[in-house]
């Protein structure tokens, strides 16, 4: 593992949670489409399989809830949607993230890159 790799993966892991919540703000999504949408984003998801335990955790924390819906083809799908609590957690994170990002940028001198 490269030096700093752990720190970055921790940072990614922490931020990923809120990226998942953010992807659900527009509409509820089922596992596969949510995972595919996330893995299209550069450098956010390295192992798609780990999204599912993350979703289970978010549900346990009541930030998302699930429901089943029939699909046109194949078995019914488990959909994930944001709860009120999830919306609130996302808003709070977004505020703090902006400040955090600016601080880190100013310390590292990476604002103008």
Partner 1 sequence: MTRRNLDPQIRAYLAQLRQAGAVLPADRRAELLEEIRAHAEAGLAAGEQPQQIVSELGDPEAVIAEAQSGAQGVAQFPGTDVGVILLLALTLVFTMLAWLAAAVMVLRTSSWTIKQKLIGVVVWPWATYAVNVILGGGPMPSNATGPVSWFYWVTIPFGNLAWTGAVYMYRTHPARVARQRAKSASGSRLHRTLGDSFNLRR
Reading the block at residue 34, the tokens are 């949510």
The H or E element spanning position 81 is: strand 77-82
- What does the alpha-carbon distance between residue 94 and residue 16 come to, in Å, rounded to a whole number? 12
Question: Do residues 33 and 45 lie in contact, with contact meaning Cβ atoms separated by under 8 Å?
Answer: no
Collect all residues with Cβ–Cβ distance below 8 Å to 51 and sequence separation of at least 6: 20, 31, 34, 35, 38, 45
Q: Which is nearer to partner 1, 47 or 84 (CB)?
A: 47
Per CB under 8 A, residues contacting partner 1 are 30-32, 35, 39, 46-50, 52-57, 60-61, 73-75, 77-78
Q: Which is nearer to partner 1, 74 or 109 (CB)?
A: 74
Give min distance, CB of 41 to partner 1, in A: 14
Question: Do residues 80 and 55 lie in contact, with contact meaning Cβ atoms separated by under 8 Å?
Answer: yes
Q: Which is nearer to partner 1, 47 or 99 (CB)?
A: 47
Give min distance, CB of 50 to partner 1, in A: 4
Give min distance, CB of 40 to partner 1, in A: 12
Give min distance, CB of 63 to partner 1, in A: 11
Q: Which is nearer to partner 1, 43 or 75 (CB)?
A: 75
């Amino acid at each position: 593992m490269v030096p700093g790799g752990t720190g970055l993966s921790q940072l990614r892991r922490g931020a990923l949670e809120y990226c998942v919540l953010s992807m659900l703000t527009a509409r509820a999504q089922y596992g596969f489409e949510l995972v595919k949408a996330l893995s299209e984003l550069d450098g956010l998801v390295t192992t798609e399989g780990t999204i599912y335990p993350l979703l289970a955790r978010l549900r346990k924390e009541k930030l998302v809830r699930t429901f089943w819906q029939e699909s046109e083809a194949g078995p019914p799908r488990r959909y994930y949607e944001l709860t009120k609590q999830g919306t609130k957690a996302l808003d709070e994170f977004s505020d703090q993230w902006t400040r955090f990002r600016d601080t880190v940028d100013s310390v590292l001198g990476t604002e103008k890159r």
